[in-house]
Structures are given as structure tokens and as C-alpha cells.
């Protein structure tokens, strides 16, 4: 049985399409923003043009992210999904690129926008004969010219040398060629936080609250990326067996939900492997147990409520490689040596392990 499920969608994302084999999802906040902008744009004197402009810019964001995905594919890095948020898109990849790979993957997005702008400028110039850029950036030019200007602004904004923009990733990649990844990330993250604070201050002074909104997410993205890299540094070169739980209880596939509930209440374990002799049949988590208790009753069998698509890890697997799989697994993954269950890796225990490791507690089993 294949116990590696396909990656779950980002929470809150809806309406899936596939482009070049890459799942594209729209966060519900993105959908709401598009609807609001289109509706308010349609109320103006040039409502149809405003609506087309908004949709064209969001299409440009999507093409921007596809640029990242296609260059990543060139380096053998699969894009798990592209999610569009109100302040832009995010391309999730299955592995972290090397510095030189990250440089080209990051710069691909802005290059797409620059190429789109060049094409639109050429078409607009061919139609009207000339382009008055002052009017374009004031929102008074031809529609094609305005979309071209929007793409240029999108490219320039993303090229700012600060996380989490593409320019920050380019900066991190260039620094990481000669310095440790954690140091390079810290420097790029600090630049992102400073930029976000300046943007937020300017937005408050000028009463531009959309800019304050963007600054908040830029700051949050810079902090999260820095934390993620430091977490990877703590797990590289560490096998899963060092962080797994070896003292745990299991359930038999013939036991009832009542039996499982009693075991749940008797200790702190939240997830239980379901066994048939020495063979693992599935995994029963706390939430599934409670749901089965409410829907099927206490006399239902655990085999009917367990998850058969559990995530299985090798004890010798590098913990940094297991982290993305843990994100798929949720609260618990099974650690199996061939077909034999040897431990559990839970989100709670993994967090405790990383805290202790950060404090310098010697590890290793």
C-alpha cells in the first residue's frame, strides 16, 4: 500500500484548476477581493474597463507564479500547488532549491511580468501610434497601456531586495552562495521587516490603509520564512528515530470506539495505530474518534473510523525531509522499519524536540 498521500490543499483555498500540470487554487479571501473590486469597478463611468483591468492584473499574478513553477520544473523541483492570495500568489514546492536554483526560480516571476508589459506596450503602440506614460500611470491611458504599467509595477515591487518578495529570495540566494543559509535568510528577512515597517508608517501617515494591509503581510511573511529556515537548520542531519515516540499504545482492529475512548482518557496519547497482529491497518486520531463516537456510537469498530491513508516514515530518514510529510500527516505519522511499526512522530513531540535541541540538549538514540 502507498502511504504517501497527495499533498493537501492550503486551508481556505477553493476552485481548483490545472495549468501545465500544476494545481492552481484560489484562497477564499482572493475570490472575495476580486468580486468586490469588479463590483465596485463596474459602478464607475468606465465600469467594464475597470473590471477587465482588475481581472487582467490577477491573471498577470497567475502567470508570474507559473513562471516560478516552470523554471522550478527545469531544475527537477515539482510545484505542489499555486495559491492566489489578496496580496499575490504563493508557489509551494516539494523541496527547497539550492542557492543557484532559487536565484533563477525567484527571478523568473518578475521576468514574466516584464515580458507581458513589453508585449502589451508593443500592441498598444501599434494601435494608437504613441503612448503617453504620464497619463497611463495616472490611470487615464489606454486599457492595454494601463495593464502594461500594472505589470511593470508588479515586477518592480517583487524585485525589492526584501523577504518575502522575489527580490528578497534573489538576495538570499546570492548571500547563501558564500554564507550559511540561516545567516543569508536572517539578512534577507531583516530587510523585509524594515521595508514592511517603512511601508506601514507611510501608509498610516498617508491614510493609505491598503498599503498598511500589504505591509502587515510582508512583515509576517519575512518572520515566518526566517523561522522556517531556522527550523530546517535544527533538523538537518538528524534521523527521525531521534525524535520519535517509542512508548505508545495501539488498538486492535476488532476493538470498539468505547475501548479507544477509554484508552484516550487514560493517558496523553492522541493518535493510535490500529493493528491486526503485527500488521498496521490504519491510524485513529482523536478527532476521528470523537466524530465516530457522535455519528456511529460507542459500539462501532475502530476499523470503520480509522484512516487507512496514513503517512509512514523510515526511522533513518532525515528529519528535515520528514517535516513536509508531517505537514501532510497532520498530528501524527507512523515510523516503520520495512513493515514493522517502531514509533510515532507527533506534531507535539516534534515541537518539544526542536525546543530542547535549540536549547542545546544532547540528542541521539
- State the Cα–Cα distance between residues 64 and 52, nearest whole angstrom: 18
> Which pLDDT value is given to residue 363?
55
Contact status, residue 146 vs residue 136, Cβ threshold 8 Å: yes
> Which pLDDT value is given to residue 108?
94
- Burial class of residue 137 in the structure, from the number of CB atoms within 10 Å of its CB (0-12 exposed, 13-18 middle, 19+ buried): middle
- State the Cα–Cα distance between residues 226 and 188, nearest whole angstrom: 9
Angle at the Cα of 215 from the Cα atoms of 213 and 219, rounded to 5 degrees: 125
- The alpha carbons of the chain give a radius of gyration, in whole angstroms, of 25
Residues of the chain with pLDDT under 70: 1-12, 15, 37-47, 86-88, 129-141, 361-365
> Which pLDDT value is given to residue 342?
94
CA distances from residue 329 to 23, 68, 264 in whole angstroms, order as listed:
20, 26, 20
24 Cβ contact list (under 8 Å, min separation 6): 16, 17, 18, 62, 81, 82, 84
CA distances from residue 140 to 131, 132, 149, 172 in whole angstroms, order as listed:
11, 9, 12, 38
Tell how far CA 82 is from the center of its chain. Answer: 8
Contact status, residue 279 vs residue 252, Cβ threshold 8 Å: no
Phi, psi of 245 (to 5 degrees): -90, 130
> For the chain, which residues make up each domain, given as ranges?
1-159, 172-235, 240-358
Angle at the Cα of 115 from the Cα atoms of 175 and 106, rounded to 5 degrees: 20
Class of domain 240-358 (CATH, top level): alpha beta
- State the Cα–Cα distance between residues 28 and 83, nearest whole angstrom: 10
**Bridge partners (DSSP) listed for residue 279:** 276
Comparing CA positions, the residue from 162, 146, 161, 118 lying closest to residue 57 is 146
- State the Cα–Cα distance between residues 88 and 351, nearest whole angstrom: 30
Q: Beta strand pairing status for 279-285 and 271-276? A: antiparallel
Report residue 187 as a C-alpha cell: 539578512
Amino acid at each position: 500500500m502507498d502511504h504517501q498521500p497527495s499533498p493537501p490543499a492550503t486551508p481556505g483555498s477553493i476552485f481548483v484548476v490545472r495549468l501545465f500540470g500544476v494545481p492552481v487554487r484560489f484562497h477564499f479571501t482572493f475570490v472575495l477581493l476580486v468580486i468586490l473590486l469588479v463590483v465596485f469597478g463596474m459602478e464607475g463611468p468606465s465600469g467594464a474597463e475597470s473590471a477587465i483591468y482588475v481581472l487582467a492584473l490577477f491573471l498577470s499574478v497567475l502567470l508570474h507564479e507559473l513562471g516560478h513553477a516552470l523554471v522550478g520544473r527545469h531544475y527537477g523541483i515539482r510545484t505542489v500547488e499555486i495559491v492566489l492570495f489578496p496580496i499575490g500568489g504563493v508557489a509551494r514546492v516539494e523541496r527547497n532549491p539550492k542557492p543557484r536554483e532559487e536565484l533563477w526560480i525567484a527571478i523568473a516571476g518578475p521576468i514574466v511580468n516584464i515580458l507581458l508589459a513589453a508585449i502589451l506596450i508593443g500592441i498598444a503602440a501599434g494601435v494608437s501610434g504613441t503612448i503617453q506614460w504620464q497619463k497611463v500611470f495616472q490611470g487615464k491611458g489606454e486599457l492595454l497601456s494601463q495593464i502594461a504599467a500594472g505589470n511593470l509595477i508588479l515586477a518592480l515591487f517583487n524585485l525589492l531586495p526584501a523577504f518575502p518578495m522575489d527580490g528578497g529570495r534573489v538576495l538570499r540566494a546570492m548571500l547563501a552562495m558564500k554564507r550559511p543559509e540561516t545567516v543569508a535568510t536572517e539578512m534577507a528577512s531583516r530587510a523585509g521587516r524594515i521595508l514592511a515597517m517603512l511601508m506601514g508608517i507611510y501608509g498610516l501617515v498617508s491614510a493609505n490603509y491598503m498599503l498598511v494591509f500589504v505591509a502587515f503581510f510582508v512583515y509576517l511573511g519575512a518572520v515566518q520564512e526566517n523561522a522556517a529556515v531556522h527550523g530546517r537548520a535544527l533538523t538537518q542531519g538528524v534521523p527521525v528515530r531521534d525524535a520519535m515516540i517509542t512508548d505508545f499504545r495501539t488498538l486492535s482492529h476488532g476493538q470498539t470506539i468505547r475501548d479507544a475512548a477509554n484508552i484516550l482518557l487514560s493517558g496523553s496519547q492522541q493518535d493510535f495505530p490500529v493493528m491486526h497482529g503485527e500488521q498496521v491497518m490504519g491510524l485513529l486520531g482523536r478527532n476521528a474518534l470523537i466524530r465516530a463516537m457522535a455519528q456511529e456510537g460507542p459500539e462501532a469498530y475502530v476499523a470503520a473510523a480509522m484512516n487507512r491513508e496514513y503517512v509512514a516514515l523510515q526511522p533513518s530518514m532525515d528529519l528535515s525531509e520528514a517535516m513536509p510529510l508531517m505537514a501532510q500527516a497532520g498530528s501524527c505519522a507512523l515510523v516503520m522499519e520495512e513493515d514493522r511499526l517502531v514509533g510515532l512522530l507527533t506534531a507535539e513531540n516534534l515541537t518539544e524536540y526542536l525546543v530542547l535541541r535549540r536549547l542545546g540538549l544532547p540528542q541521539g538514540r
